[in-house]
Structure formats: structure tokens, C-alpha cells
């Protein structure tokens, strides 16, 4: 019987499942190198931790790793119900909150190694977490795809730690009761984008789609975020908000240090700013996570669904 020690949290409603012990040995390379090993040889572990019957489509996993640099608090590799992620904003807030809960770190500044690079974080005295993300940038402006039944949809392709298609003019009403319709619309939009051959840098798949509309009650914007496995993000999405900030900066609509308040489809909020350094846009995202459970996952070798329902290797 295999035992996997986990700590669950949520950031703005979006769960993070931190694997503390019982994970695979990925070697001692960088987080990007370990991610490749994880993906090539241990995808069954990703599925076992995240997918039904132990998990759900909405959970994002985080495998805690020994860091390469002594100055880093930890290393981490993120994954969800369909893929491995280079970076995860809400997940990083969850990981730092969890490390604080466990007594491994105290309020202050902490470095966290991810496949996208090392990010600097700050655990505030009041429990909030600020993530100083990797540089974000717009890869392509005003990309237009033809979506059957809706016509032409135009948006930007941008990087904020993951690849995003960001759309302001879409004709959708971003309300919680419209979740099913929004999921269908954004999923078809993602497929249309892929079919049209639009990608991120180096031919990278644009795995996320974000719809925006003007915010209310102090929020600058409200969004709906489609994640790679067709689940929607309950949080405002840290890497997505980083990509949005990069586009706003490129258009001269947000000044360095100016706060952008991004609200999610469930009403949770992140505060975002950025700094310019060496002609790069460096976003910072502030939010709060809450620890929800400590437990062990058990994998019984006689269980036909031990690696997740519909898992095939």
C-alpha cells in the first residue's frame, strides 16, 4: 500500500494539493529538468493524485521538491488533471501559505524554484502572499479566429508563466450561473485557435483562454479562465493576471507600480502590479490562501482505479 502525504489549500476558491511525501524521485536537476522526468516516467502519479476517485478536475497539484539552490525555500512542480504546468500563481500562493502553516518558513521573503524559473515570494504578517513572478510578455496582438456560431473573435496571445489567449470583446456575460455556457464557448475557442495554427513562442500550445469584462465594486476587471483540462479557474489566475498586466503595460494602460484588481468568476480577487527592469515586465500578484486539510492518499495495487478513472498509459 503506497502512502502519499498531502496538504490541501485553496486560493480564492481554487484548490492546491501539495504533495509533501511519497512522490517519485525525479533526480537533482532543475525544476524544468525534473518536470521532464515527471512527465515521461511518472504521469500515473499525477493522475492518481489529481483525478477521480481521489481528486477532481479543479484541483491543481504541487509536488514539493528539494531546491537546487541553498537560498531557495523549496522547489515545486505543478500539474493538473491534464498536464504539467511551468508555473501556477494561485498554486504558489497556496504552497507558501502551506509552508508557513507547517512552520517551515516565517513571514518574510522566500525564493521558490519552478519549471518556469525561480520566483521570489513574500509571506506577509497578515497571511497574504505576494508572488513576484517570472517576466511576462505579449507574444501576438489582435489574433483573430473564426468561431462557428459566433463569428470572428479577436484577442492577444501572452505569456505569464503559462500561455494564454486573452479576449475582451466576446459577447458573453461573465456570471457564475453561466459557467456551463462559458466553458463551452472558451473550449471551442481554444480548439479553433489550435486549428488555425496560432501558438505561443516556439510553437507552444496555448492551453488557457481568458474572457474579460469591466469589474465592479473596486475591481478593475472580472474574468473567466479556462484551464487545460476544461475546468475553469475559481481564482482570478495568477499567471493569467500576469499575462494581462503585460498586455496592459504594452498598451500603456497600466503604469509600473499601479495596482490592477482582478476579480474571478466566483468573486475572489488578486491585486497585481509590475515593475520594468532590463526592458522586461515583471508582474507581482498578491492574494490569500487557506489550508483546508491534512491527509494521506492511499494507493492499493489491487484497485483498478488506483491511478485515476480513465487513466491510460
Among 147, 151, 230, residue whose Cα is nearest residue 183: 230
Taking only the tens place, the pLDDT of each residue in 253-300 is 999 999 999 999 999 999 999 999 989 999 999 999 999 999 999 999
Q: Is residue 310 part of a domain?
A: no
- The pLDDT value recorded for residue 82 is 87
For residue 218, the domain's CATH number is 3.10.310.10
Q: Is residue 305 part of a domain?
A: no
90 and 198 both lie in a single domain: no
Residue 93: is its pLDDT beyond 70? Answer: yes
Q: Is residue 278 part of a domain?
A: yes
Q: Is residue 71 part of a domain?
A: yes
Taking only the tens place, the pLDDT of each residue in 170-192 is 999 999 999 999 999 999 999 99
Taking only the tens place, the pLDDT of each residue in 118-136 is 999 999 999 999 999 999 9
159 and 228 both lie in a single domain: yes
pTM above 0.85, yes or no: yes
For the annotated catalytic residues, the residue numbers are: 88, 237
178 and 110 both lie in a single domain: no
- Tell me the residue range of the domain where 12 lies: 2-128+290-299
- The pLDDT value recorded for residue 313 is 63
50 and 115 both lie in a single domain: yes
**Residue 311 pLDDT level (bands cut at 50, 70, 90):** confident
Amino acid at each position: 500500500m503506497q502512502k502519499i502525504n498531502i496538504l490541501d489549500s485553496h486560493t480564492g476558491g481554487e484548490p492546491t494539493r501539495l504533495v509533501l511525501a511519497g512522490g517519485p524521485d525525479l533526480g537533482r536537476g532543475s525544476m524544468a529538468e525534473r518536470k521532464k522526468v515527471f512527465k515521461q516516467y511518472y504521469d500515473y502519479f499525477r493522475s492518481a493524485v489529481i483525478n477521480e476517485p481521489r481528486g477532481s478536475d479543479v484541483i491543481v497539484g504541487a509536488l514539493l521538491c528539494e531546491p537546487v539552490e541553498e537560498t531557495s525555500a523549496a522547489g515545486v512542480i505543478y500539474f493538473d488533471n491534464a498536464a504539467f504546468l511551468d508555473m501556477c500563481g494561485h498554486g504558489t500562493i497556496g504552497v507558501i501559505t502551506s509552508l508557513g502553516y507547517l512552520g517551515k518558513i516565517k513571514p518574510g521573503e522566500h525564493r521558490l524554484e519552478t519549471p518556469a524559473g525561480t520566483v521570489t515570494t513574500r509571506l506577509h504578517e497578515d497571511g497574504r502572499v505576494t508572488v513576484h513572478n517570472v517576466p511576462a510578455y505579449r507574444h501576438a496582438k489582435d489574433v483573430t479566429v473564426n468561431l462557428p456560431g459566433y463569428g470572428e473573435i479577436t484577442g492577444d496571445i501572452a505569456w505569464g508563466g503559462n500561455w494564454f489567449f486573452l479576449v475582451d470583446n466576446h459577447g458573453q456575460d461573465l456570471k457564475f450561473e453561466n459557467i456551463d455556457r462559458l466553458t463551452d464557448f472558451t473550449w471551442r475557442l481554444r480548439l479553433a485557435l489550435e486549428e488555425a495554427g496560432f501558438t505561443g513562442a516556439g510553437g507552444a500550445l496555448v492551453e488557457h483562454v481568458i474572457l474579460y469584462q469591466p469589474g465592479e465594486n473596486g475591481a478593475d476587471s472580472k474574468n473567466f479562465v479556462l484551464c487545460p483540462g476544461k475546468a475553469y479557474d475559481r481564482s482570478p489566475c495568477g499567471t493569467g493576471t500576469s499575462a494581462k498586466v503585460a498586455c496592459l503595460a504594452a498598451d500603456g494602460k497600466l503604469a509600473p507600480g499601479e495596482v490592477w484588481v482582478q476579480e474571478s468568476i466566483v468573486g475572489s480577487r488578486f491585486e497585481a502590479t509590475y515593475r520594468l527592469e532590463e526592458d522586461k515586465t515583471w508582474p507581482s500578484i498578491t492574494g490569500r490562501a487557506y489550508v483546508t486539510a491534512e491527509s494521506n492518499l492511499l494507493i492499493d495495487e489491487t484497485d483498478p482505479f488506483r491511478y485515476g478513472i480513465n487513466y491510460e498509459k
